[in-house]
Amino acid sequence: MTYLELLCLLEERLGRLHIPLRANASTVQELFDGCALHHELMTALARAVYVGNRCHHVKDRITPEKTLQAINPIRAAILDADNTDIDTYCFVEAFVTEVQKGFGQHQTKPRPRLRPAGGQIIAFPRRPAARL
């Protein structure tokens, strides 16, 4: 997968609001078309992937190992910060998940059962509704 292909995939999966990409970009400076919702975070993640994979062009090939190594320090800093808001947290988690899915490395965990099998339902008596 190339750097540009990854960003196109992320734009498709996360939405143009988060990654406003110019698909016909030929340089890193031309990549973003406007301002993303989390612009500084998005550009930091994109720059980390580019530098971490030692890219010289947007069509250079990238590897999952180097990509995840590059974004993990940013993710860790956001998750450890005391003032991280829920939208930023959700965005960075979705970004990492979609990168893993893009490289075919995402493993879904089985969902835990919310109710034990064979539980008993207890009916509570209701009071008659009050008249107004």
Which range marks the domain in which residue 71 is found? 3-102
Note whether residue 119 is domain-resident: no
CA 50 → CA 22, 86, 106, 121, 132, distances in Å?
A: 16, 26, 21, 56, 67
pLDDT of 44-63, one tens digit each? 999 999 999 999 988 899 99
pLDDT of 80-127, one tens digit each? 988 888 888 988 999 999 999 988 875 555 555 555 556 666 777 777
Q: CA gyration radius for the chain?
A: 22
Note whether residue 80 is domain-resident: yes
Number of domain units in the chain: 1
Note whether residue 27 is domain-resident: yes
Note whether residue 111 is domain-resident: no
pTM of this structure: 0.74
